[in-house]
Structure 1
């Protein structure tokens, strides 16, 4: 975490006064009214999202004629590094906001939330709004979420007559589908991981295990939890006993590439089931090319419990803005819209007929089910979570390649993560 940049004392006094003024000009209750004079605010987002936000800004301006929103694409690293000098009023952020908060670069949103009856904070899925609460104050609101889901190659499933996954499917259902599709001669696999360490982690949580003692305030890892070991024994059997998933060496030989061998297998149409974030649908983001097959989406299969991961993007207001009222209206407006590449953070939007018409009934159902059982990835994960990665990944590699049993690999990883 960077060292906060100190401000001149006079500016701190002015900033404090501005905060008092913001509170005083808010109406006592109801909706936030329009600004007294026409204003223009600058909204910064990732460059790839500009085409999505510009039509929203135009519609917002039609509904709020006194507010013009100028959408600009800006590198997130610049926003994180020097927001004060970027000339931005409102921003999207997929990164930690802690440095910006500590430096006084963001506006406390609580006065606006408490006075805007139309905002409905309880409409957000559990835990999302709290994610951006530091020292009892709310500094951002969720703009969209990205849950990890299970994708499937519809063409392969139909070709081999395999059962199609459904919202409430189980580990056993997954294995049956994967076994039905597995074709040794054609080099077709029932399942392949794109990020094995994430898949294995979620299977552990679905079995009732935990990788850390407390997800929100972790102190130590718990790789040697008996339920984690049991889950990873099952996961290893997919590769070594059932043969429905390729070991790392098999994947490299069959599909090419190293860490991305599983990705290559999916693109080549040789994998029936794989996990991925919602935003990856159709082969976007880091995929080498779009998927040239019919595909479907369901939640991850469940066992004792349902569990998945979810990343979150947020909206925040710069403390230096001259137009906090207009910024709040734009921010609140965005929170009620359909996200572009992400899934809705508000329950009312995710459960709406409009969302279902936009993405289709199957995808909408997968998103809704996933958001009910998601572990939220903290934007500024504590040190213990950052330490999980390397020893956990090494253990998974040992398990799926047969170099060590699940118990051996996980006990060694536990010692490495907790020296």
Structure 2
């Protein structure tokens, strides 16, 4: 102001009607009375100038603390989906899955996938509880059964294939998708596939100078090989298995047998057929007659110590090998009677809680099946890269060239060994009767020719009582 002082105030802090923060800065510029056409400016003294700048600094500092700045844009809350599985972190599949989940979550797509691990012994019961609760996990690792396909809330993946974020079904061999159709619809994603092969402890073979078996070997050759590698005094066994009847299916199939007579109505158990009795008899002989394995030798523990030479495994390829304390490879299951049809198959199922979570879960599944990601899963976990682009990928081809064991499950599939586990029949409670028969045979309480027909009759009674999907 001419001849006076300027008042400095912070316009951001000022209140209406001029009542805000006001600080008298200093008389900094003086304007004498004006002369026509001339403006005379008198410079302030240095002391006045410094006092003025100091006061201005205090004013700005006071205002700055009160000015909130621009409002930040809030970060959207990510959609969290749950993935139920039984892959422990001390296993190759569990370690591989953990790496992939971390890789996906770090992409910040707005979706976070949470691992929901349940140990194998509790998995079935916990899965059933979660499904019955009405709030199931978004993604579930499971077996492809009719009972799964009938579960309320299951999303038919063929709907997602055809949606805006679709999936090229042609990436899978047709066999995989055809088998998984139920009542004309595709409900689940194929996730794991491997023919059940035979693991080889190459260190034991080398130690005793025994030739490793070739693809397509027979049962008698396997028994002789197991005998040469059995040394009970050292707790080394030529053949490793468990009493679980699940692994005895392989013996039935390698003898040309089957589990069900699906051509009849109602469906009947085929455990009383000659091929089934032959397969179980030959398998029991490994314990009771040839003594190349032991009822007291747990497979998992002996694999960790390298004391089994051969054992049936669903994790057939050498991606499983790094977890073992010996050199590992694989070969085909020995054939008893005719080309076996062997199976190891799991799927991913998506459940609908609400549409946002379905879209989020599908975003993860599509990412998981991208070529490099799924190849990382297959090789790290020890399964086949079941997409066409995975099987043709240079990484997979290099592994097969380096160790024929990688080829074992593919060789079996190509030669008709793959058993297509039927979605129907699905007989609730049938397995316990087969397991009881196996236990009775191994403890020599009865013979296979007696135990298996008795189990078949008990299973048929369950079917007749209506405990079956797809039997009528």
Q: Give me the TM-score of the superposition, normalised by structure 2.
A: 0.62
Structure 2 equivalent of residue 137 of structure 1: 185
| Alignment coverage as a number of residue pairs | 356
Give the superposition deviation at 1:99.
8.3
Structure 2 equivalent of residue 301 of structure 1: 334
Give the superposition deviation at 1:207.
1.5
Q: Distance in 2 between matches of 1:169 and 1:74?
A: 41
**Greater alpha carbon shift after TM alignment, 104-113 vs 307-316:** 104-113
- Whether 2:278 is the aligned partner of 1:230: answer yes
Give the superposition deviation at 1:354.
2.0
Q: What SS is found at the alignment partner of 2:199? A: strand
- Whether 2:408 is the aligned partner of 1:374: answer no
- Whether 2:365 is the aligned partner of 1:331: answer yes
Structure 1 equivalent of residue 309 of structure 2: 272
Give the superposition deviation at 1:221.
1.0
> 1:241-293: per-residue Cα shift (whole Å, max 9, x none)?
323233x3xxx2xx4xxxxx343343343321112331897879xxxx95322
Structure 1 equivalent of residue 344 of structure 2: 310
- Indicate how the Cα distance of structure 1 residues 319 and 309 shifts in structure 2: closer, same or farther if over 3 A, else same: same
Structure number with larger C-alpha Rg: 2
Q: Is the 8 A contact 2:81 2:357 kept in 1?
A: no
Q: What SS is found at the alignment partner of 2:269? A: coil
**Greater alpha carbon shift after TM alignment, 120-129 vs 274-283:** 274-283
Q: Is the 8 A contact 2:188 2:347 kept in 1?
A: no
Q: Distance in 1 between matches of 2:155 and 2:264?
A: 24
Give the superposition deviation at 1:392.
1.8
Structure 1 equivalent of residue 34 of structure 2: none
Give the superposition deviation at 1:191.
0.7
Structure 1 equivalent of residue 246 of structure 2: 198
Q: Distance in 2 between matches of 1:227 and 1:155?
A: 35
> 1:363-385: per-residue Cα shift (whole Å, max 9, x none)?
4312323455333557x87542x
Q: Distance in 1 between matches of 2:419 and 2:206?
A: 32
Give the superposition deviation at 1:107.
4.0
Counterparts of 1:241-252 in structure 2 under 5 Å? Answer: 241-246=289-294, 248=295, 252=296
Q: Distance in 1 between matches of 2:174 and 2:425?
A: 20
Q: Distance in 2 between matches of 1:39 and 1:217?
A: 54
Q: Distance in 1 between matches of 2:103 and 2:265?
A: 40
- Indicate how the Cα distance of structure 1 residues 143 and 40 shifts in structure 2: closer, same or farther if over 3 A, else same: farther
Q: Is the 8 A contact 1:221 1:388 kept in 2?
A: no
Q: Distance in 1 between matches of 2:117 and 2:232?
A: 46
- Indicate how the Cα distance of structure 1 residues 317 and 204 shifts in structure 2: closer, same or farther if over 3 A, else same: closer
- Indicate how the Cα distance of structure 1 residues 174 and 352 shifts in structure 2: closer, same or farther if over 3 A, else same: farther
RMSD: 4.0
Give the counterpart of 1:291 among 309, 324, 346: 324
Gaps of 5+ in 2: 1-75, 86-93, 119-126, 462-472
Give the superposition deviation at 1:167.
3.0
Give the counterpart of 1:45 among 78, 83, 92: 83
Structure 2 equivalent of residue 350 of structure 1: 391
Higher relative contact order (CA 8 A, sep 6+): 1
Q: What SS is found at the alignment partner of 1:164? A: coil
Counterparts of 1:15-414 in structure 2 under 5 Å? Answer: 41-46=79-84, 48=94, 49-56=97-104, 67-74=109-116, 77=127, 80-81=131-132, 91-94=139-142, 105-114=153-162, 119-125=167-173, 127-130=175-178, 132-145=180-193, 147-214=195-262, 219-246=267-294, 248=295, 252=296, 255=297, 261-278=298-315, 291-303=324-336, 304-316=338-350, 318=352, 320-322=354-356, 328=362, 330-336=364-370, 337-338=374-375, 339=377, 340-341=380-381, 342-357=383-398, 361-372=403-414, 373-376=417-420, 382-384=425-427, 386-414=428-456
Q: Distance in 2 between matches of 1:321 and 1:116?
A: 14
Q: Distance in 1 between matches of 2:142 and 2:394?
A: 27
Q: Is the 8 A contact 2:192 2:384 kept in 1?
A: yes
Q: Give me the TM-score of the superposition, normalised by structure 1.
A: 0.69
Q: Distance in 1 between matches of 2:205 and 2:420?
A: 31
- Indicate how the Cα distance of structure 1 residues 74 and 95 shifts in structure 2: closer, same or farther if over 3 A, else same: farther
Q: What SS is found at the alignment partner of 1:128? A: helix
